[in-house]
Amino acid sequence: MKFGTKTIHAGIEPDPSTGAIMTPIFQTSTYVQRSPGDNDGYEYSRSHNPTRTALQKNLAALENGKHGLCFSSGMGAIDAIIKLLNPGDEVISSNDLYGGSYRIFTKIFQRYGIKFHFISMEKPGNIEEYINEKTKLIWAETPTNPMMSIIDIEGIGVVAKKHKILFGVDNTFATPFLQNPLDLGADIVMHSVTKYLGGHSDVVMGAIIVNDDHLAKQLAFIQNACGAVPGPQDCFLVLRGIKTLHIRMERHCQNGRAIAEFLRKQSAVDKVYWPGFEDHPNHDIAKKQMRDFGGMISFTLKGNTIEYANKVLESLHFFSLAESLGGVESLCGHPATMTHASIPKEEREKVGLVDSLIRLSVGIEDVDDLRDDLAAALSKLA
Ligand code: PLP
């Protein structure tokens, strides 16, 4: 099955009792058993729910994986992955990553005796010097949030396999439409489904996709024991959203390219971060592992101050100033004070996350309106 067919059909069966083409919302907490333990695989909705099952099958198919697990949020999914580890274990993570991931690693799991190394992963060889017998997980985002750096999934997969270390990739920015980390050597793919997969800014959800049966069992155990499960209404909304993922992503990519190229020509703009530029440091890797370059862009302003950034952000009209990304509507954000505020200034500036950095999630509106909006906002700096 090709990708655009999977989005609509994978894991989805007409409802056997009515023929309903849309997966019903099984709004139930429990299921009647014929006699104790004699059931159809459904006992209680923290463990399993049929609407969730359909979505999990669909997501597994989109990532070319065997097992899908949906969580109440992306953070719920990351929480379950780190709970695979034990006190004393070590994790090597990319140093440019979503602020909430940095926060759960440093403020929660470090207290439980897990050690995190945040390093530049743009060259897979950099990782080797941080690996020791306690290293149990390599964690990467690519493209990274918000600097749009590209990490070589295949290259890191080789290092992880050599040292028998689990390798997890947060694939939120790329989506399975652009990149499939399991095919490139990752063991775990994670998504903030809240973003492009849901696609309509109306659901908070997370997902994990794996191939290994034992790993899937461990994660399902953690999920059931800890309880971070999504409700069936949200699963229904995501199933509906995913049906247009491929069409939405095509337009996100088209608009992303047009806006990135436009921004580069603006006199008020200093740097533009977008992996589709030929002079992006890892453009060749991006071209190899991604099918296109997506609709996420970051840029800085000449006159690198929060006040400059605020002036632009407050003047934009179609780019709404909001947390999150990946919806049909364009959003803008100020990572230094919003999504990445939990990262100390010295740390964030090391990767280029400076005070004037603005992150755009380019939506699927008519691109002329988006360009005009940005031109008008940037003209306020003249
Ligand atoms: N990973 C990335 C790359 C994100 O951007 C986010 C949220 O912004 C998350 C994980 C966390 O996901 P959620 O907000 O669904 O908990």
Residue 38's pLDDT is 87
Of the residues 211, 242, 273, the one at which a domain ends: 242
Asked if residue 254 and residue 367 are part of one domain, the reply reads: yes
Question: What is the distance in A from the centroid of ligand 1 to the CA of 255?
Answer: 22
Name the domain boundary from 209, 242, 275.
242
Q: How many residues does the chain have?
A: 382
Total of domains in the chain: 2
Active site residue 89: no
Same domain, 252 and 126: no
Is residue 59 a contact partner of residue 70, using CB atoms and an 8 Å limit?
yes
Q: What is the CA(192)–ligand 1 centre distance, in A?
A: 5
What is the model's pLDDT at position 181?
A: 98
Distance 213 CA to ligand 1 centre (A): 25
* Same-domain status, 217 and 326: no
Ligand 1 pocket test: pick from 78, 144, 172 the residue with the most ligand atoms within 8 Å of its Cβ. Answer: 172
72 lines ligand 1 (CB under 6 A): no
Options 83, 98, 248, 251, the catalytic residue: 98
Q: Cβ(301)–Cβ(309) under 8 Å?
A: yes
Q: How far is the CA of 194 from the centre of ligand 1 (A)?
A: 7
- Which pLDDT score is estimated for 92? 98
* Model pLDDT, residue 40: 87
Query: Residue 103: what pLDDT?
Result: 94
282 in the same domain as 206: no
Count the neighbouring beta carbons within 10 Å of the beta carbon of residue 157: 21
Based on the fold, state whether residues 154 and 285 are members of the same structural domain. Answer: no
Does ligand 1 have an atom closer than 6 angstroms to the CB of 97? no
Residue 76 is predicted with a pLDDT of 98
C-alpha of residue 34 to centroid of ligand 1, in Å: 41
> What's 353's domain CATH number?
3.90.1150.10
Which CATH number fits the domain that encloses residue 202? 3.40.640.10
Question: 98 CB less than 6 Å from ligand 1?
Answer: yes
Ranges in the chain, pLDDT < 50: none
282: containing domain: 245-381
CA distance 286 to 262: 21
Minimum CA distance residue for ligand 1 atom 6: 192
Same domain assignment for residues 271 and 232: no
Q: Same domain for 227 and 79?
A: yes
Does this model's pTM top 0.75? My answer is yes
**CA nearest 95: which of 116, 73, 80, 125?**
116
Q: Whose CA is nearest to atom 2 of ligand 1?
A: 98
* 79 in the same domain as 133: yes
The single residue listed with the structure tokens 């509106």 is: 365
Residue in 192, 205, 296, 323 to alter for ligand 1 test, most ligand atoms within 8 A of Cβ: 192
Distance 197 CA to ligand 1 centre (A): 12
Q: Are residues 52 and 85 in the same domain?
A: yes
Same domain, 287 and 232: no
* Annotation marks residue 98 as catalytic: yes
Question: At 322, which amino acid appears?
Answer: A
User: Are 167 and 285 found together in one domain?
Assistant: no
Cβ of 94 below 6 Å from ligand 1: no
Q: Whose C-alpha lies nearest to ligand 1, atom 16?
A: 74
C-alpha to C-alpha distance for 189 and 145, rounded to whole angstroms? 16
175 and 259 together in one domain: no
Confirm whether 195 is a catalytic residue.
yes
Give residues with Cβ within 8 angstroms of 202, minimum separation 6.
237
Residue where a domain stops, chosen among 224, 242, 260: 242
CA-wise closest residue to 338 among 130, 149, 171, 98: 98
